Amino acid sequence: MLDKENKEILIKTGIIAGAVIVILTLLILMTFLARKSWERGLSDEVMTTLEQYSPGIYKDATFIELESNLASSAAVYALERKTSANSTGEYAVIVRVPGIAGPMPAVFIHSKNSKITEFAGYAVDNYKGKFVLSGEKSFGSLSYWQSKIERILEKAGV
């Protein structure tokens, strides 16, 4: 049988180990649950932004895995048009872009055929700030990220 001191040490170690196991289990469980929410939630935001940019053009956005350090700040989607059954080589990238008002989720569309990248808008409603923030198109962080979209798509295997 254990003496009193060893019993106390065992109880303390058991409590700490139990707490670590519970926290790790919760973290792993939440990571798996949050993954689907990330893909679907951002897809909805991309479609909402594209509907304001080009109404009635796009039907669906399919998530593409991005194996890069940017995976926590960006997401890539393959776009389907309403008029076409197959993929038209158009992709949307939603990326966290730092700007003068802080970081904003910006949506860009890239066409593989024409190799043109366009800024479709922010995934948040900026209301009064829209005109000031969209002025960053011609300079600043938006133009930098616009030039990086092709590189991001290459990392996504597109």
Partner 1 sequence: MRNSKTYIFFAAALAMIIPVPGRTVFAVYLLVLFNILIVLTTLLNSGIKKLGLEKHDRIFFALEIISVTILYKQIMTLICPVVSLTLSFAIYLPAVSSVLAVYFLSEKGNGIKEDLCEKLKSSGKISLFVFCIFLVRDIIGFGTLTLPGWKKIITLHILPSVSEKLSLGVFFATIPGCLVLIAVILFCSQIFASGKKIEKTAEPDSTEENK
List of residues contacting partner 1 (CB under 8 A): 12, 15, 23, 26-27, 30-31, 33-34, 37-38, 40-42, 44-45, 72-73, 75, 94, 96, 100-105, 123-132
Minimum Å gap between C-beta 28 and partner 1 is 10
Cβ closer to partner 1: 16 or 89? 16
Q: What are phi and psi of 38, to 5 degrees?
A: -60, -50
134, exposed or middle or buried, with CB in 10 Å at 0-12, 13-18, 19+? middle
With contact defined as beta carbons under 8 Å apart, do 68 and 81 qualify? Answer: no
| Min dist. Cβ of residue 78 to partner 1 (A) | 18
Tally the C-alpha atoms within 13 A of residue 6's C-alpha that lie toward its C-beta.
3
Residue closer to partner 1 (CB basis): 111 or 126: 126
What's the token pair of residue 4? 């009193």
Q: How far is the CB of 49 from partner 1 (least distance, A)?
A: 10
Closer to partner 1 by CB, 115 or 131: give it.
131
